[in-house]
Chains A and B, each alone.
Chain A
């Protein structure tokens, strides 16, 4: 056992402890620095871990305490988890950098410290959801991320955010209630809580055809609960107001990471507990597939109707999550590989779009209506470029990350004729729909503003610049040099 194997545990604990220490700090500035340190430390630790488990193609489980699998809590780590954890820490760090000015403007000075506690705990919860090997730990961390996510929405303290938080909270509570019931039912038919033992028992039950109905209900409840929390199509209505009204860093983290945390957990449960064959034979994947397709269309249509740039981006998140669910719904390794890749691409693109959108609106008195943003890109060129890159990646132009994801989705469907046609048609339609709202937005940003419309130039914001440049680099990296990432994801899925 090498020292590096402790790193997942260290990264979770560093984030949680920095959350606990934060109330004792002097003011919001220090809390911000501590949060940056925590996510930076998480990034370094996950990066080193990735450097070890990636090339060696190794996966291991880590005991949280003195007791092995069926008795004590465990973490399990492989290449997939390491990639996702690295991406989560990186996006968190960059989102905090990009949203710095808005956080300190939107959140009251005496509450800024508390805001960063939430950010730290969200990061800890996401890492724990990525690494955990225990279904009840997963439930506890789902709740942590729910509470913290609601808190970062309401931190802005305007009437819109309050109402959005209430709606988000109600839907989240519904989702966690269903997940908890699913976990309880699963416990009473298997008697275990840790993934490896659960898998063993589930396979036994399937082989002997015992408790077939309860098992189906368990999968249904868990998928529905996690689906509500990650805005799967019929349950997506809470997302646009919540993500559209929060402060920039919150929107970035929520769209880029929090909804993904539940999806990552869902993928891991599918592989490590129920196994993908069982899931396929229960036909759950078909439901998820259809919901995914519907989400792709409904999200884009919602975005087309929207005139508020942040809510437009939020609707586009619904569509992009539809892609992820579609990939999971294919129920094959390639499909889920494409879904994981899409998670990475979206996690890098959407926070950048949110950051750039609010940087662009800063010169227009924070008016985020699209008509007010005409020509805003000339006042903040970097933000304009960032928004354009993000938009092109979302549409799926070659060389950008989104294109690679779409190609993977298309090639993943080749084995299943019925799903292939549905996927390809929906992909094409959704690409057109994406273009229908992103292209006008980009042209509006770059068209010459009319007389008297131009806003004042904003002072340069170095942290925003750093984060946008890194985000752009990440989008191009995923669009051009995707091969190593894809190999890691494939190896990781094989080892799950």
Chain B
């Protein structure tokens, strides 16, 4: 139990992941689905970023001439989060564009209604 308190960033990340996951699955509103995806991805980044932190060390920007590994926090999670964020921006843009098209066609962002309308139009 103590570990849960110490690892509170990870705990928050896991809870957010669950919220995002369920939103992605359960929301009928497509925009809310995308928001759920955003929450889920950001939870993962929070988790990852918290892995790099080490008590009392500096950010990984070099100060002075020589560097000692014991002075700086881990730069890898920061880099991975950067990569991950760009990926999720791209995916979000793509899904929002798709939603805009669907809205144009069916005048609704409710996925169930869209599925039914598409079916009534006769699918090929």
Task: Give Cα distance in the complex from A159 to B116, angstroms.
Answer: 11
- Determine whether the beta carbon of A180 is less than 8 Å from that of B98: no
Do A143 and B114 touch (CB < 8 A)?
no
B61 within 8 A of A: no
Contact digits for A121-151, partner B, Cβ 8 Å, 1 yes 0 no: 0000000000000001000100100110011
The B-contacting residues of A in range 156-174, CB under 8 angstroms, are 158-160, 162-163, 165-166, 169-170, 173-174
Whether A166 contacts B25 in the complex (CB less than 8 A), given A177-B41, A245-B124, comes out as no
Q: Is the interface of A mostly helix, strand, loop or mixed?
A: helix
In the complex, which of the residues B47, B87, B105 contacts A162, with contact meaning CB atoms closer than 8 Å? B105
The reply to whether A169 and B118 contact each other, CB–CB distance below 8 Å, is no
Q: A160-B124, A162-B101, A166-B111 are in contact. List 10 more A-B contacts (CB 8 A).
A: A136-B80, A140-B83, A154-B98, A166-B99, A173-B95, A174-B21, A174-B25, A180-B41, A181-B17, A184-B48
Q: Once the chains bind, are A181 and B124 in contact (CB under 8 Å)? A: no
Q: Is the CB of B51 within 8 A of A159?
A: no
Q: Give the complex CA separation of A166 and B77 in angstroms.
A: 31
Minimum C-beta distance from B38 to chain A (A): 10
Scoring A residues 364 to 389 as 1 if CB is less than 8 Å from chain B, else 0, what string do you get? 00101000000000000000000000
Quick check: B94 and A163 within 8 Å, CB to CB? no
Contacts A158-B124, A174-B24 hold; do A163 and B87 have CB atoms under 8 A apart?
no
Residues of A within 8 A of B24 (CB): 170, 173-174, 177
Determine the chain B residues whose CB is within 8 A of the CB of A245 once the complex forms: 123-124
User: In the bound complex, do residue A184 and residue B44 qualify as a contact, i.e. CB atoms below 8 Å apart?
Assistant: yes
B102 within 8 A of A: yes
Residues of chain B in range 1-28 having any CB-CB distance to chain A below 8 Å: 17, 20-21, 24-25
Give Cα A158–Cα B95 distance, bound, in whole angstroms.
17
Contacting B51 at CB < 8 Å: which of A143, A151, A158, A184? A184
Chain B neighbourhood of A143, CB < 8 A = 87, 90-91
CB distance from A342 to the nearest CB of B (A): 31
Once the chains bind, are A163 and B114 in contact (CB under 8 Å)? yes
Do residues A177 and B87 form an inter-chain contact, with CB atoms below 8 A? no
Q: Which chain A positions have C-beta within 8 A of B83? A: 136, 140
Residues of A within 8 A of B21 (CB): 174, 177
Residues of A participating in the B interface, judged by any CB pair closer than 8 Å? 136, 140, 143, 146-147, 150-151, 154, 158-160, 162-163, 165-166, 169-170, 173-174, 177, 180-181, 184, 187-188, 193, 245, 366, 368
Q: Which listed residue, B76, B91, B105, B124, touches A368 by the CB 8 Å rule?
A: B124
Interface size class of B (residues with CB under 8 A): 35 or more
Question: Which residues of chain B have C-beta atoms less than 8 A from A180's C-beta?
Answer: 41, 44, 84
Q: What chain A residues lie within 8 Å of B48 (beta carbons)?
A: 184, 187
Which B residues touch A174, using CB under 8 A? 21, 24-25
Interface residues of B in 39-56 (CB under 8 A from A): 40-41, 44, 47-48, 51
Contact partners of B95 in chain A: CB under 8 A? 166, 169, 173
User: Which B residues touch A154, using CB under 8 A?
Assistant: 98
- B30 contacts the other chain (CB 8 A): yes
User: In the complex, what residues of B have CB within 8 A of residue A165's CB?
Assistant: 98
Give which listed residue, A146, A151, A173, contacts B37 with CB less than 8 A. Answer: A173
Which of A136, A146, A184, A245 has most B Cβ within 10 Å?
Answer: A184
Q: CB < 8 Å: which of B41, B91, B101, B111 contacts A147?
A: B91
Closest beta carbon of chain A to B59's beta carbon, Å: 19
Q: List 20 A-B contacts (CB under 8 A).
A: A143-B87, A146-B91, A150-B94, A159-B105, A159-B121, A160-B123, A162-B105, A163-B102, A163-B118, A169-B94, A173-B91, A173-B95, A174-B21, A177-B24, A181-B47, A184-B44, A187-B51, A187-B76, A187-B77, A245-B123
Which residues of A lie under 8 Å from residue B17 when comparing CB positions?
177, 181
**Complex contact A140–B118 (CB within 8 A):** no
Cα separation A366 to B124 with both chains bound (whole Å)? 9
Report Cα–Cα, A66/B20, bound state, in Å.
Answer: 39
